[in-house]
């Protein structure tokens, strides 16, 4: 078996903790491997730490603890968590992130050709007409008119801006792309087109994706394996079919049940959806305040990682 | 222009007629909104869907008169019926007029597609919500704070009292979105315009927000215009549906009719592209072929004809189809072969 492209081991990220205040534990002891050429999905509650996890892997922010190992080729593995800024920049040519909020990740004072072209100029030395042609081609791949080359981000719609972010991430021929809600603002047709493009690039260049998304139908379509996060932890990790056919963790089950069905005649009684308790559970399982299976042990002890029907599950009770 | 209300209950809250909002760019004229007709009934939910870039957000921004330069409303009417029953054409107001400032936020509130475009980056979110409440409701500072925390709680933000003091960058994408929703709803608007309000939210939080909007809709008789790409959400909450393509509404109707019986070829193609959980595994998702035409070189006749499988040469490229009743009379559609 070949070594994984990326290994994340016991990663923690705590924001603003001090002696009196425990701070926000946004990522809590997270470990997983991403294999070369696979699409690794991350889904979960809003605020559960998905973006923070992506930013820690890239080292846009420095994790509080843990180790991230990257194996781009046959030479010695790179420990991303040990690199200094200059070494890190080199790795950023092959690890790219598509940001969740295109508005704040695209400099409003730069035209599209600069936004997408900057990296190409640096990595491939493209300039002038060759650069313009390459950027125009990239625009076309994400379904934008090549004529938009000299427009500024402010002159685009939300979905158009999102596609500029995608083109920028794909420009330099990356090995690993962390896509954070990359297709959420796209209509279903352009979304389909974009997902097809991501798959084509993967087939052609053996690209690896970490695909963070809320749209479970999209995740089911594109991902090989899926991790489910809740309050900083991965509570379930399984291959796609196992996760969608036989969800094990109570939170995963709740998620799948809440997916709205695109059929108005099967509209559910809106009053029945569970109110989400916002209370903070300090010890034990973070899902306990919401969980129908919760018992005393759940409230006191952190659940162990167990194998349930082929899935890694963080729970005391499910079998 | 009819200025006297017949009887308030059935009169529309907002009527957009032939709205045109154009951008005067260096390269030429971009007709982002080019003849939109929409009616929003009080206490009903209208969902607007359509291709990325077809003018949904600009239509919404036109209603609030917050279209950025070099954009301008160049034609059409936006008739708003105020609480006292009188109507005003928002399209004819100055964007900075007293009337507009009253309408904005208080009467009509908007949840923006990109939260960071409406949340100031350097002010704590609690303060931003409190200030909006103080601006539009007659309450004390302490009461405003209380309402703000209560709203943060209602939109499902954990530890609302603590998060009241957080800066936007300290929140996750979905929390920012919810903070903005809290801000918009805290002023109890008569019309809520929500532009992709739940895209950054997991499905359970999304359900909670949609419930909250539904609850306030009933409690306050609030009308809702919801822009979304998520056809699951549309199926769940919409009463009326409008489908847009290249700056126009191309089909309009009751949600059940639109899903069961889509008429316009674009609506049909859209419905066919929905990814569904548990559907038969497909290697490739169906997408509508081709690209949206350049806004500066619109096709003659029907603007969908370059991508339409049913286009008839000599017909569809001759004259522009108008939105008009077709076979089901309550479901107007703009297509040459549907009349
Ligand atoms: N710079 C920061 N300072 C303090 N807290 C932060 C910071 N960034 C994130 N957090 C907190 O970390 C937690 C996880 O945030 P993160 O953005 O990773 O969530 P997410 O899973 O991406 O959510 P969403 O789906 O809503 O985007 C949240 O509680 C958030 O408030
Ligand atoms: N400042 C501007 N200058 C020129 N064109 C603009 C400007 N702002 C918006 N547009 C164009 O107007 C059109 C409509 O934009 P709008 O934001 O309304 O789209 P949308 O339907 O909301 O799309 P999305 O679903 O992607 O958010 C787009 O094609 C966009 O490129
Ligand atoms: S550990 Fe207990 S509370 Fe947590 S998910 Fe499992 S059963 Fe529910
Ligand atoms: S008018 Fe013609 S081109 Fe346009 S949607 Fe109808 S059939 Fe297609
Ligand atoms: Mg996020
Ligand atoms: Mg928009």
Return the residue of A nearest to B24 by Cα: A155
Cβ-contact A199, A140 below 8 angstroms? no
Pocket test for ligand 2, best of A148, A154, A160 (most atoms within 8 A of CB): A160
> Are residues A188 and B233, on separate chains, in Cβ contact within 8 Å?
no
A239 versus A267: which is more confidently predicted?
Answer: A239
Q: Residue A270 above 70 pLDDT? A: no
Q: Which residue of chain B has the CA closest to A16?
A: B170
- Give the pLDDT mean for B260-269: 93
Quote the minimal CA–CA distance from B298 to chain A in Å. Answer: 13
Q: Is residue B338 part of a domain?
A: no
- Statement: residue B191 has pLDDT above 60: yes
Q: B172, A278: Cβ pair inside 8 Å?
A: no
Q: Please state the atom number of ligand 4 nearest to the C-alpha of residue B265.
A: 5
Question: Is A45 in Cβ contact with B205 (below 8 Å)?
Answer: yes
Residue B4 has pLDDT above 50, yes or no: no
Residue B234: pLDDT band by 50, 70, 90 thresholds? Answer: very high
Q: Is the CB of A32 under 6 A from ligand 3?
A: no
Query: What pLDDT score does B257 carry?
Result: 93
pLDDT at position B2 is 45
Q: Using one digit for the tens of pLDDT, what is the confidence trace for A167-206?
A: 999 998 999 999 999 998 899 988 998 999 999 999 988 9
Kindly tell me if the per-residue pLDDT of A121 is higher than 60.
yes
Taking an 8 Å cut-off on Cβ atoms, the answer to whether B200 and A46 are in contact is yes
Q: What is the mean pLDDT of residues A285-303?
A: 93
How far apart are the C-alpha atoms of A34 and B133, rounded to whole Å?
47
Q: Which of A13, A201, A1 is nearest to A98 (CA)?
A: A201
Q: Closest ligand 4 atom, CA of B302?
A: 4
The residue with tokens 């419905």 is B271
Name the residue of A156, A183, A189, A193 to mutate for ligand 2: max ligand atoms within 8 A of Cβ.
A156
Q: Binning pLDDT at 50, 70 and 90, where does residue A1 land?
A: low
Domains of chain B: total: 1
The pLDDT confidence band at residue A226, using thresholds 50, 70 and 90, is very high
Asked if the Cβ–Cβ distance from B114 to A102 is below 8 Å, we say yes
Least confident segment among A210-224, A238-252, B87-101, B319-333: B319-333
Residue B173 near residue B124, CB atoms below 8 Å: no
CB atoms within 10 A of CB B280: 5
- What pLDDT does B292 receive? 82
Cβ burial, residue B174 (10 Å; 0-12/13-18/19+) = buried
Asked if A46 and B50 come within 8 Å (Cβ–Cβ), the reply is no
Is B294 in the A-facing interface, judged by CB distances under 8 Å? Answer: yes
- Is B145 inside a domain boundary? yes
Taking the Cβ of residue B202 and every Cβ of chain A, the question of whether any pair is shorter than 8 Å is answered with yes
With respect to residue B305, please indicate whether it lies within any of the assigned structural domains.
no
On whether residue B297 sits in a domain, the answer given is no
Q: pLDDT-derived band of residue B273, with 50, 70 and 90 as boundaries?
A: confident
Lowest model confidence (mean pLDDT) among A139-148, A233-242, B91-100: A139-148
Q: Is A282 on the interface with B (CB under 8 A)?
A: no
Average pLDDT for A245-259: 94
Quick one: pLDDT at residue B266? 95
Scanning every residue of chain B, which has its alpha carbon at the shortest distance from the alpha carbon of A260? B232
Assess contact for B226 and A280: CB atoms under 8 A. Answer: no
- What's the mean pLDDT in B117-131? 91
Does residue B283 sit within a domain?
Answer: no
Place of tokens 């994340």: A8
CA angle A217/A218/A223 to nearest 5° reads: 110
Which 8-state DSSP code applies to residue A263? -
- Judging contacts by C-beta atoms under 8 Å, the chain A residues touching residue B203 are 214, 216, 255, 258-260
B68 contact A CB<8A: yes
Taking the C-alpha atoms of residue A183 and residue A162, their distance in angstroms, rounded to an integer, is 7
Does this model's pTM top 0.90? yes
Ligand 4 atom 6, closest CA: B335
Closest C-alpha to ligand 3, atom 3: A288
Q: Mean of the per-residue pLDDT values for chain A?
A: 91
Q: For chains A and B, what is the number of CB pairs under 8 angstroms?
A: 211
Per-residue confidence band for B283, with pLDDT thresholds at 50, 70 and 90: confident
A2-57 tens-digit pLDDT: 899 999 999 999 998 777 777 889 999 999 999 999 999 999 999 999 999 999 99
Using the predicted structure, report yes or no on whether residue B10 has a pLDDT greater than 80: no
Strands (E), chain B: 14-25, 28-40, 45-50, 71-81, 87-89, 108-111, 191-195, 223-227, 240-245, 248-254
The pLDDT tens digits of the residues spanning B156-165 come to 898 899 999 9
pLDDT beyond 80 at B247: yes
The shortest CB-CB distance from A278 to any of B153, B294, B296 is to: B153
Ligand found nearest the CA of A304? 3
Q: What pLDDT is attached to residue A91?
A: 93
Q: Taking the CB of residue B152, how many other CB atoms lie within 10 A of it?
A: 29
More confident residue, A42 or B106: A42
Sketch out chain A's domains with CATH numbers. 6-94+172-280 (3.40.50.300)
What's the gap in Å between B243 CA and the centre of ligand 2?
A: 16
> Which of A119-128, A283-292, B103-112, B178-187 is least confident?
A119-128
Ligand 2 centroid – CA B32 distance (Å): 6
CB atoms closer than 10 angstroms to residue A91: 17
User: Cβ of A100 under 8 Å from any chain B Cβ?
Assistant: yes
Best residue for ligand 2 mutational test, from B33, B34, B52, B57 (most atoms within 8 Å of Cβ): B57
Residue A318 has pLDDT above 80, yes or no: yes
B136 domain residue, yes or no: yes
Q: What is the pLDDT of residue B7?
A: 42
Share of chain A above pLDDT 70, in %: 95
Is A297 at the interface with chain B, CB within 8 A?
no
A76 or A244: which leads in pLDDT? A244
**B284 lies in a domain?**
no
Chain B touched by A280 (CB under 8 Å): yes
- Chain B residue closest in CA terms to A45: B202
Q: What is the mean pLDDT of residues B217-240?
A: 93
**B199 is in which domain, residue-wise?**
14-259
Share of chain B above pLDDT 70, in %: 95
Residues of chain B with Cβ-Cβ distance to A268 below 8 Å are: 236
Mean pLDDT of all residues in B165-190: 92
pLDDT of res. B298: 83
* ipTM of model: 0.89
- CA gap B108, B101 in Å, rounded: 10
CB of B265 sitting under 6 A from ligand 4? yes
* pLDDT value at residue B275: 82
State pLDDT tens for residues B62-73.
999 999 999 999
In the block, residue with structure tokens 């957080």: B166
Residue B290 CB coordination number (10 Å): 10
Q: Does residue B223 lie within any of the structural domains?
A: yes
CATH of the domain at B180: 3.40.50.300
Please report which confidence band the pLDDT of residue B282 belongs to, taking 50, 70 and 90 as the band edges.
low
Q: Pick A219 or B114 by higher pLDDT.
A: A219
């Amino acid at each position: 078996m070949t070594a994984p492209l990326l290994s994340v081991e016991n990663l923690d990220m705590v924001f603003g903790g001090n002696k009196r205040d425990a701070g926000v534990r946004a990522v809590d002891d997270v470990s997983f491997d991403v294999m070369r050429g696979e699409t690794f999905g991350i889904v979960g509650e809003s605020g559960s730490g998905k973006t923070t996890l992506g930013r820690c892997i890239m080292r846009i922010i420095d994790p509080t603890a843990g180790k991230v190992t990257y194996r781009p080729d046959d030479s010695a593995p790179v420990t991303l968590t040990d690199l200094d800024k200059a070494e890190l920049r080199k790795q950023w040519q092959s690890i790219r992130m598509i940001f969740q909020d295109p508005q704040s990740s695209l400099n409003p004072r730069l035209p599209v050709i600069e936004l997408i072209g900057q990296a190409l100029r640096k990595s491939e030395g493209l300039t002038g007409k060759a650069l313009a042609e390459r950027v125009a081609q990239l625009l076309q791949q994400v379904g934008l008119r090549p004529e938009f080359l000299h427009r500024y981000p402010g002159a685009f719609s939300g979905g158009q801006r999102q596609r500029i972010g995608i083109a920028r991430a794909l420009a330099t021929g990356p090995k690993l792309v962390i896509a954070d809600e990359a297709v959420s603002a796209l209509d279903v047709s352009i979304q389909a087109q974009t997902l097809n493009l991501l798959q084509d690039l993967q087939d052609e260049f053996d690209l690896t994706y970490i695909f963070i998304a809320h749209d479970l139908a999209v995740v089911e379509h594109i991902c090989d394996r899926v991790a489910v996060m809740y309050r900083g932890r991965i509570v379930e990790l399984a291959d796609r079919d196992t996760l969608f056919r036989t969800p094990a963790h109570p939170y995963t089950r709740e998620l799948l049940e809440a997916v709205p069905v695109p059929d108005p005649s099967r509209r559910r009684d809106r009053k029945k959806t569970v109110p989400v308790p916002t209370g903070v559970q300090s010890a034990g399982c973070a899902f306990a305040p919401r969980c129908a299976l919760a018992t005393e042990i759940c409230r006191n002890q952190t659940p162990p990682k167990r194998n349930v029907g082929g899935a890694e599950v963080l729970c005391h009770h499910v079998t | 222009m009819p200025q006297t209300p017949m009887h308030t209950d059935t009169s529309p809250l907002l009527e957009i007629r032939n709205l045109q909002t154009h951008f005067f760019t260096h390269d030429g004229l971009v007709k982002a909104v080019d003849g939109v007709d929409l009616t929003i009934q009080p206490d009903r939910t209208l969902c607007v869907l359509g291709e990325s870039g077809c003018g949904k957000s600009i239509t919404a921004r036109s209603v609030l008169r917050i279209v950025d330069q070099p954009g301008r409303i160049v034609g059409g009417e936006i008739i708003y019926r105020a609480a006292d029953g009188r109507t005003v054409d928002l399209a004819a107001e100055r964007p900075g007029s007293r009337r507009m400032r009253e309408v904005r936020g208080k009467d009509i509130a908007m949840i923006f597609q990109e939260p960071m475009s409406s949340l100031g980056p350097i002010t704590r979110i609690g303060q931003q919500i409190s200030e909006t409440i103080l601006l539009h409701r007659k309450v004390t500072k302490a009461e405003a704070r209380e309402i703000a925390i209560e709203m943060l709680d209602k939109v499902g933000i954990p530890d609302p009292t603590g998060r009241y003091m957080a800066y936007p960058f300290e929140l996750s994408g979905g929390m920012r979105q919810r903070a903005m929703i809290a801000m918009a709803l805290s002023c109890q608007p008569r019309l809520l315009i929500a532009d992709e309000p739940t895209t950054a939210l997991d499905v359970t939080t999304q359900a909670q927000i949609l419930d909250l909007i539904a609850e306030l809709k009933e409690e306050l008789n609030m009308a809702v215009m919801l822009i979304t790409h998520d056809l699951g959400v549309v199926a769940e909450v919409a009463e009326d549906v409008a489908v847009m393509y290249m700056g126009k509404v191309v089909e309009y109707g009751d949600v059940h009719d639109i899903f069961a019986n889509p008429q316009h070829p674009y609506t049909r193609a859209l419905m066919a592209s929905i990814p569904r959980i548990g559907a038969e595994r497909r290697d490739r998702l169906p997408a509508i072929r081709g690209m949206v035409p350049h806004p500066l070189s619109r096709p003659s006749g029907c603007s969908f004809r370059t991508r339409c499988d049913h286009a008839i040469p000599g017909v569809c490229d001759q004259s522009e189809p108008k939105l008009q009743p077709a076979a089901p009379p309550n479901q107007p559609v703009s297509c040459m072969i549907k009349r």
